[in-house]
Structure 1
Amino acid sequence: MNNAGDILFDVLSRLPTKTLLEMRFVSKAWHRLILDRSFVQAQFQKCGLALSGFMFQEKYRKCPIDISTFTYMPIDADSKVQKMVFGFLPEDVVILQSCNGLVCCRSCFRTQHSTTHSTTIYVCNPLFKKWVSFEVAQLDSFSSIALAFDPILDPVNTATNFKVVRIQQLENEQEEMYYTFEIYSSETGTWKESSEVCYSDGNLLKNNGTYAKGVLHWLTDTDQILAFDTEKELSLLVPSPIPALEMFIDAPGTCIGESKGLLHFIMICEDGIIVWCLDDYFEAKWTLKHSKQLQMIEDENPNMFFKLYKIMQRRRLPGMEPYMDPWAFKDEVLLMRVFSTVYFYHIETGKVVEVCNVASLGPNAFVSPPVIPYSLSLIPLDVSLSRSDPNNNTNPNEN
């Protein structure tokens, strides 16, 4: 279908995804147009994707068995927090990462010995209940799997192509720690081991990758961020904007995220909420984007926070959870826990919105929870996976 010169095509492709989801029921012709690949590509280029909400999933502290339910926290103030599962998938899953409207999951580990077998990876569009799946061997609950998908760098007007990267930390005979990268391509339907190796003593934190302009990023427990270019298969350790963390009363809470195509580094400490964006990888040039003192946040939101600044000046006892913890960041919105309550913090306006109590998320909500941002997307998932690999599957309702 070629509607590039059509007025209706041009007008509708300038509307946000949420609006188009309602308008596709106007007529069969509109439905076909809005779901056409050329239209989806044009709409993404003109509008991009808006943050819809965050997905949160509990996990046990010392047990490899997974919890299948997760909580969806919509950014829309009129929508309620809700418990969910991806019921359209053939089995229960753990959410790993989202990227431009697609969500990457893995099958749940049900027993202590689940890690000895292959694990199924799912890439899906929850909006349309579409998915593809493939296998990965010897995956455990601490392995990191990340999705790389960009409709601009790899247009979707003919096919939806993505890559999934598995990162592992190993040790050589000299007791040096290093990372290896294994890449799955939806075009070939196969895994391949990258020749790239990155030497680092750092351990991955929060265990989910952040994708920005062809590069996956992982936060580590050192003063560095691990970056991996999925096209060039090159890695880089980027120094964080705050290298001397020992200057703080307690180790600050940190996370990374993406907004407007740039990697962001977020820190919450006794001084306040501070946000930087990365302008240059090789020079590690960070720009301070936002900084707000806790006392000011407390003064502006007296009904939400009581003695926030004063409590943050106290040193925590060993083993205590941080008073404030940044969980995830996307499109200028920070999802954070403050004591036992979850909030949205909008860095452009400084507005704070209460989301829910941590207890409502489940009894294991404090244990380094996997939290991923999610955006509604019209992206189709009818990729042509390799026929030679019997482990590759698309869902039977695909069309």
Structure 2
Amino acid sequence: MENLRVMNGGDIPFDVLSRLPTKTLVEMRSVSKGWHELISDRSFVQAQFQKTGLTLSGFIFQEKYQKCLDDIKTFSYMPVNADSKVQKMVLGFLPEDVVILASCNGLVCCRSCFPTQRPTIIYVCNPLFEKWVSFEVAQLDRFSNIVLAFDPILDPVNTSTNFRIIRIQQLENEQEELHYTFKIYSSKTGTWKESNEVCYSKGNLLKNKGIYAKGILHWLTDTDQILAFDTEKELSLLISSPIPVLEFFINVPGTCIGESMGLLHFIMICEDGIIVWYLEDYFETKWMLKHSKRLQVIEEENPRIFFKLHKSMQQKLVAGMDPLMDPLAFKDEVLLMRVYSTIYFYHTETGKVMEVCNVASLGPNPYVDPSVIPYSLSLVPLNVSLSRFDSNSNINPSEN
């Protein structure tokens, strides 16, 4: 066991262990010092990611106050493991309370809470190992849109862990044209830069902001379009949704976007049922229908959970009323959705429904545009160096 220390891709133990899932490898790290060193080695981490990828571990749910500009400092974690319960959490290893902004391939991006008397701090961390890097960002407010782009395949982690932070802002030019601009922070250089790319759109960004799939970030808007931004080429694109959700329905359908198998997915819940598409071609905007299940069938299969679900969805909602069914987030064929006042997992591969919790257990403001973010366990290490906070942290130059 102790002689396993440094191996390469040609060694049998290296090859066998690198095919195991992350959760198993985390437990095996405690077997011996040799196993710990092997599983922590960057070449091993890269090989394990290439062979097994990442699987969804759960969803992070964080509320917002409706009128108060202060941030809620706690969040709920919903494991997809049927044997695990919803947990109230904070990232206690960080030096302060934070708001969750995004997650990408096992890394989580968050910011310091408002109100604050100093510049806002952005943290990128791996909660599994309780490690982080951090840097200051000037002129950030509660409504700023910050997302994380990180891909161990496109940017291998066998030598270092490099990620990008993208700040997207909607501005208005002299001709009163609304457009989006993009600022990019690179952990490799420790600096921000303003992208030359500009995307003209009147659409407002909705939930599931910054879904990452194969080098491209995606934002759902309220204009039947999805805004896409290629983080490498720094090019943007407006993609039409697979169906105009603002037409043809009794009530405006609930929608969200997500990622599975490296592909962008569009999920819609309407009076007809739960419908899922995936984007096959960006430039031709070619969507493929992947899953569809009528509400009557879901109700018949789950009579103890749902009562008159289809009939209720057929009725016209009162203006300002929360939708009866709301898709909150999607990842790896798992849809997190709210039906009435209960949260459920819906598995698109099997069509099975699993109750998670009552909305009231998530806090007093669960309906007010919550942040709902998928999370996957990852062995990816972070480069860390001494800072004014702790040896875990790394403060880089502020945004210009």
TM-score range, shorter chain: over 0.9
Q: Which amino acid aligns with 2:97?
A: D
Contact 1:382 1:398 in 2 (8 A): no
Alignment of 1:262-281 (within 5 A): 262-281=263-282
Shift of 1:398: 7.3
Deviations 1:17-49 (A, max 9, x none): 011111111111001001110000000000000
State whether structure 2 residue 234 is matched by structure 1 residue 239.
no
State whether structure 2 residue 44 is matched by structure 1 residue 39.
yes
Contact 2:345 2:355 in 1 (8 A): yes
**Equivalent-residue separation in structure 2 for 1:393 and 1:288 (angstroms):** 51
Shift of 1:394: 8.2
Question: Over aligned residues, Cα RMSD in angstroms?
Answer: 1.6
Deviations 1:82-134 (A, max 9, x none): 100001101110001100000000111126xx6xx631110000000000001
Shift of 1:339: 0.4
Q: Which amino acid aligns with 2:335?
A: L
**Equivalent-residue separation in structure 1 for 2:296 and 2:145 (angstroms):** 37
State whether structure 2 residue 175 is matched by structure 1 residue 180.
no
Contact 1:215 1:230 in 2 (8 A): yes
Q: Which amino acid aligns with 1:396?
A: S
With over 3 angstroms needed to count, the CA separation of the structure-2 counterparts of 1:317 and 1:142, relative to structure 1, is same
State whether structure 2 residue 297 is matched by structure 1 residue 296.
yes
State whether structure 2 residue 373 is matched by structure 1 residue 368.
no
Residue 62 of structure 1: aligned partner:
67
Show structure 1 runs of 5+ residues with no match: none
**Equivalent-residue separation in structure 1 for 2:376 and 2:301 (angstroms):** 29
**Equivalent-residue separation in structure 1 for 2:251 and 2:137 (angstroms):** 39
Q: Which amino acid aligns with 1:47?
A: T
Contact 1:160 1:383 in 2 (8 A): no
Alignment of 1:91-240 (within 5 A): 91-110=96-115, 118-206=119-207, 208-240=209-241
Show structure 2 runs of 5+ residues with no match: 1-5, 395-400
Contact 1:204 1:220 in 2 (8 A): yes
With over 3 angstroms needed to count, the CA separation of the structure-2 counterparts of 1:394 and 1:102, relative to structure 1, is farther
Determine helix, strand or coil for the equivalent of 2:36. helix
Shift of 1:223: 0.9
**Equivalent-residue separation in structure 1 for 2:359 and 2:19 (angstroms):** 38
Contact 2:95 2:389 in 1 (8 A): no
Residue 377 of structure 1: aligned partner:
378
State whether structure 2 residue 368 is matched by structure 1 residue 396.
no
Deviations 1:343-389 (A, max 9, x none): 000000001000000000001001111000000000001167xx9xx
Contact 1:150 1:213 in 2 (8 A): yes
Q: Which amino acid aligns with 1:325?
A: D
**Equivalent-residue separation in structure 2 for 1:395 and 1:124 (angstroms):** 14
Runs of 4 or more, structure 1, over 3 Å off, are 392-395
Determine helix, strand or coil for the equivalent of 1:170. strand
With over 3 angstroms needed to count, the CA separation of the structure-2 counterparts of 1:311 and 1:288, relative to structure 1, is same
Contact 1:132 1:393 in 2 (8 A): no
Deviations 1:147-167 (A, max 9, x none): 000000000000000000000
Residue 328 of structure 1: aligned partner:
329
Within the candidate set 70, 76, 85, 1:80 is matched to 85
Determine helix, strand or coil for the equivalent of 2:223. coil
TM-score by length of 2: 0.95
Contact 2:215 2:230 in 1 (8 A): yes
Residue 357 of structure 2: aligned partner:
356
With over 3 angstroms needed to count, the CA separation of the structure-2 counterparts of 1:73 and 1:66, relative to structure 1, is same
TM-score by length of 1: 0.95
With over 3 angstroms needed to count, the CA separation of the structure-2 counterparts of 1:260 and 1:144, relative to structure 1, is same
With over 3 angstroms needed to count, the CA separation of the structure-2 counterparts of 1:335 and 1:393, relative to structure 1, is farther
Residue 28 of structure 2: aligned partner:
23
Contact 1:133 1:394 in 2 (8 A): no
Deviations 1:62-100 (A, max 9, x none): 222100100000000111111000011011100011000
With over 3 angstroms needed to count, the CA separation of the structure-2 counterparts of 1:321 and 1:78, relative to structure 1, is same
With over 3 angstroms needed to count, the CA separation of the structure-2 counterparts of 1:329 and 1:394, relative to structure 1, is farther
Shift of 1:143: 1.3
Contact 2:208 2:372 in 1 (8 A): no
Contact 1:131 1:395 in 2 (8 A): no
Deviations 1:279-313 (A, max 9, x none): 11110000000000001000000011000000000
Contact 2:216 2:231 in 1 (8 A): yes
Residue 14 of structure 1: aligned partner:
19
Contact 2:384 2:391 in 1 (8 A): no
**Equivalent-residue separation in structure 2 for 1:4 and 1:383 (angstroms):** 26
